[in-house]
A and B are shown apart, each in its own frame.
Chain A
Amino acid sequence: AQKITQTQPGMFVQEKEAVTLDCTYDTSDPSYGLFWYKQPSSGEMIFLIYQGSYDQQNATEGRYSLNFQKARKSANLVISASQLGDSAMYFCAMRGLTTSGTYKYIFGTGTRLKVLA
């Protein structure tokens, strides 16, 4: 079975500091994708970053980087130089397969990040 686990329900970080949000996953598929999404209080899920299972380098997008450790099955999100606008819910997700062989996405329970001024 495919599963995403986020063990941190809530996190605090001081403005301008870096923060790491944890994500572990479980899958038996040799090929998969890992994603992070941000959900502000408005509700929209905003795509942040993607890591393919065969990618050799860790993904980076601006202040976001994904620390991919395949052997440990972890895909932690690192946000550098936190800003007040980073306060939101963050979801880790994995792309898996439906029973019909098409894609579906499995989400973790989320981590609520609060950036302190």
Chain B
Amino acid sequence: ETGVTQTPRHLVMGMTNKKSLKCEQHLGHNAMYWYKQSAKKPLELMFVYNFKEQTENNSVPSRFSPECPNSSHLFLHLHTLQPEDSALYLCASSQGGGASTDTQYFGPGTRLTVL
């Protein structure tokens, strides 16, 4: 595997379900990000992790719970979601550590539908 991978690619869930999105980066990076992209809305930053520590929570509802067990893996745990949470969820990674050429690379995204 190379780059940034995300599983599953598509997910349909009911409002009472609990599911998790997984992101893995094979780039040796130290920073990881979750974004939400809804139709006709700008890309919304949700969470930032640097060296496994959360450094940004952009006022995300508690029904979204991130987990970063190591610098290569990032999870987004979902529970009691609402239909308006249906969106494309993108994971990204970057070098982190203050590198002046820090550049984000994205995974293919998980398209989530909440019924």
Contact = CB atoms under 8 A, between A and B. Distances in A.
Interface residues of A, number: 26
Nearest to A93: B104
Interface string A8-35: 0000000000000000000000010101
Contacts of A98: 48, 55-56
Nearest to B105: A47
A43 B111 contact: yes
B102 A107 contact: no
B41 to A, nearest CB: 8
Nearest to B6: A44
A1 B87 CA distance: 27
B17 to A, nearest CB: 22
B45 A45 contact: no
Nearest to A99: B56
Given A43-B111, A102-B50, A107-B42, A35 B55 contact: no
Given A98-B56, A103-B31, A42 B103 contact: no
Contacts of A107: 42-43
Nearest to A110: B42
Contacts of B94: 103
Contacts of A45: 90, 92, 106, 109
